[in-house]
Chain A
Amino acid sequence: MNIGTQPQNGSSALAGEGERPVQYVTPLADVESTKEGYTIHAEMPGVDKSGLEITVDNGELTIVGHRHPEEFSGEPVYREIRSTGFRRVYELDPAIDTSNIAARIDQGVLTLTLPKAESVEPRKIVVE
């Protein structure tokens, strides 16, 4: 059961050698576990479909969300919203069928469905 772990901190991840470090914030996320698999709900306000990058590599699921730049009118009076993107890495349960991961984003909440491969679902063997 490794899906909940977060091996890397989402903030201050390096984009590549020699480049300036890109700042990210870790999105708040819920993970649900069922017999059939896992569901992740991650909060990424300001991110739409085109700003999402989801990759699976070497048993790790990486979620990156870029905010689309808002055309602010006028000068800031009060600011709490961070303009940085989101990033989070999950170590995947080996039972997950990575070819069938599905994602959708609705009003800034990313929903990822990670089904378990059929072979690892508990199966009852009938004795004849």
Chain B
Amino acid sequence: MNIVRYQRYPQSDLSVTFDRLTTVRNELDRVFESSFGSFFRPLASLNRWNPAVDVYQDNDQFTVYVELPGLKKEEIEISLNGDTLTIGGERKSEANADQGFRTERYFGKFQRSLTLPVPVNSEKVNATYKDGILKVVLPKAEEAKPKQIPVSLN
């Protein structure tokens, strides 16, 4: 199973430090924006929002958890294309840009994709969103479940 588009561990101490640096860089961007235009923009890819993902499995299903605090249900898009599960969406900023004087949270688009190692029953995929955590349950297809074959010894 491989998961793409991952760059950092959200909320680790390192990333908080890094977030601060990013905030400083945002300030610099803002300062330079007027005179240098988009010259500093390519660095913005560092600022991508990559929500943390957990994947669990047992004999019957995969369970995927994604940390997505502060979204509305309709802002989350979940799609299953073959063996690739994609979770994406957009968090819109409610804050007035002039008011914030310390901003660390990410707003805008996000997307995570993961490839499932065995086929799943796409008809029975179920998702819930509670306390800012998205939970997606993907039952494994019948043919992918481990089977016990009884062997009789003579």
Residues of A within 8 A of B (CB): 4, 9, 11, 25-34, 41, 43-48, 68, 70, 72-82, 106-109
Contacts and interface: CB of A to CB of B under 8 A. Distances in A.
B70 A43 contact: yes
Contacts of A108: 67-70, 131-133
B153 interface: no
B102 A30 contact: yes
Contacts of A31: 100-103
27 contacts: A11-B13, A25-B16, A26-B11, A29-B102, A30-B102, A30-B103, A31-B100, A31-B103, A32-B96, A32-B100, A33-B100, A41-B70, A43-B69, A43-B105, A45-B133, A68-B131, A73-B56, A73-B61, A74-B58, A74-B59, A74-B61, A76-B56, A78-B1, A79-B55, A80-B52, A81-B54, A107-B72
B67 A45 contact: yes
B132 A44 contact: yes
Contacts of A46: 67, 131-133
A31 B100 CA distance: 6
Contacts of A32: 95-96, 99-101
Interface residues of B, number: 44
B59 to A, nearest CB: 8
Given A11-B13, A32-B101, A45-B133, A81 B67 contact: yes
Nearest to A108: B132
Contacts of B102: 4, 29-31
A30 B12 CA distance: 18
B63 A72 contact: yes
A78 B54 contact: yes
Minimum-distance CB pairs A-B, first 3: A108-B132, A74-B58, A108-B69
B142 interface: no
A118 to B, nearest CB: 20
B3 interface: yes
A46 B131 CA distance: 5
A93 to B, nearest CB: 12
